[in-house]
Each structure stands twice: as C-alpha cells, then as structure tokens.
Amino acid sequence: MKKIIPHSGFTLLELMLTLLMAAVLVALAAPMMDSTIKTQSIRSLQRDFHSALVYARSEAVTRNRVISVCSSSNGASCNAGVWSDGWIIFIDSSTAGFGNGVLDNGETLLRANVYEGSAVPSVVDPDADAAVSFVTFSLRGFTYNSNRVYVQICPSDSEDSFARGLMLERSGRVVYSRDDNGDGVHDRIFQNDAGVAVSTNLDC
C-alpha cells in the first residue's frame, strides 16, 4: 500500500502577504537607491573635474607651456561654457604665449572628456560671480591672471544637500568642498582680496 505524502506549499493568503511585504520593501528601498545613484554621479564628476585640473596644472609646469581647460561638447573644440557636455585640455600657445582659452589650429589637444551624465556642473569666478568658459594655467602652475575659479556640481533636481564643489586657488591648488558649518549643505570657502575667509552655501 502506497503511503500518501502530503504536499506543502503557499496558501493564497500567504502568497498575497509575501507579495505585499515585497512591495513595501521595494517602496522603501527606491528612494535610498535614487539617493545613492545621485550621490555617486555627482562625486564621480567632482573627481573627474579634480583630475582634469590637477593634470592641466601638472602639464603646464612639466612642459613649461600655457595649458587651458575649456568646456566642450564634442571633445575636439571649445564651446560657450556649457560644461555639462564635457571639456578638453590643450596647449594654449596663442595670444603671444598667454593663451586665449580656445583650441586654435596647430595647438595640441592633450585630453578630452565627453560627459553624458545627469549631474549639472558650472564653473564660475567667485570674485566676479560670473560664469567661466575656460581655465588657464601659467608655466609656473598658477591660474592665469591669478583668478580664482569655483566648480559647482548640482543634481538635476537642484537639491542643495547633494551639491559638491571644487575651489581652484590662485596658486593652482584644487580643494574639495566641505560642509563647513554642519548644516547638511557643502560650502564654498575662499579668501577674499582682504585675506578674510568667506564661506557660503552651495546654491543650486
């Protein structure tokens, strides 16, 4: 006589409860995943900008040539300051050796970076509060005309707490932004012409 072994399995109620729990977990995890992706995208672009500026300064000193970094949408020429498309680094030998921030015929392209992410970068002169379309390093590694430059990177939804930045000092040193006052938003910090440290929140 065969022994009948009962089959075990999920009841309809158990299955519905399992699906409900899974849906709740997915709903809870989605915002965290979105936050993580947003953070990584911004920090990755911040590192790319940092590497580009450090490389350009190093090449200026090593080659004893003026080196410029300009915004570019095609990896081969400069555009009108739209850094969200990318940038190029090149030997800028025009304007009597002082550079003009444009890749002209005969000048050497050193590196190109085409950006296709969602983060929104901007490059500004913090003293004049004006947009900058190129950054130039002198043969000694200083910024051209001793100008300071600030790189700000914001998420596409302009949420300030995710913003990150880089300060390019007159000496050519590149400094990462930080949350200076603990309010959850990074600050741009630099010394003004009077030598006083000025700190303001990154504002997307």
Q: Give per-residue pLDDT as tens, 55-103.
A: 999 999 999 999 999 999 999 999 988 899 999 999 998 767 788 999 9
Half-sphere exposure of 150 (CA within 13 A, CB side): 25
Name the band, by pLDDT with cuts 50, 70 and 90, for residue 25. low
Fold held by 14-61+118-201: minor pseudopilin epsh fold (3.55.40)
Per-residue pLDDT, averaged over 24-43, amounts to 76
pLDDT of amino acid 61: 97
Does the pLDDT value for residue 8 go beyond 60?
no
Per-residue pLDDT, averaged over 160-164, amounts to 94
Share of the chain above pLDDT 90, in %: 58
Q: What residue segments make up the domains of the chain, in order of their start?
A: 14-61+118-201
pLDDT tens-digit readout, 132-149: 999 999 999 999 876 889
Q: What is the pTM of this model?
A: 0.81
**Cα–Cα dist 69/126, whole Å:** 18
pLDDT tens-digit readout, 101-118: 999 999 999 999 999 888
Q: What is the 3-state secondary structure (H, E, C) of 42-111?
A: HHHHHHHHHHHHHHHHHHHHHHCCCEEEEECCCCCCCCCCCHHHEEEEEECCCCCCCCCCCCCCCCCEEE
CA 13 to chain centre: 50
Q: Provide the 3-class DSSP secondary structure of residue 22.
A: helix
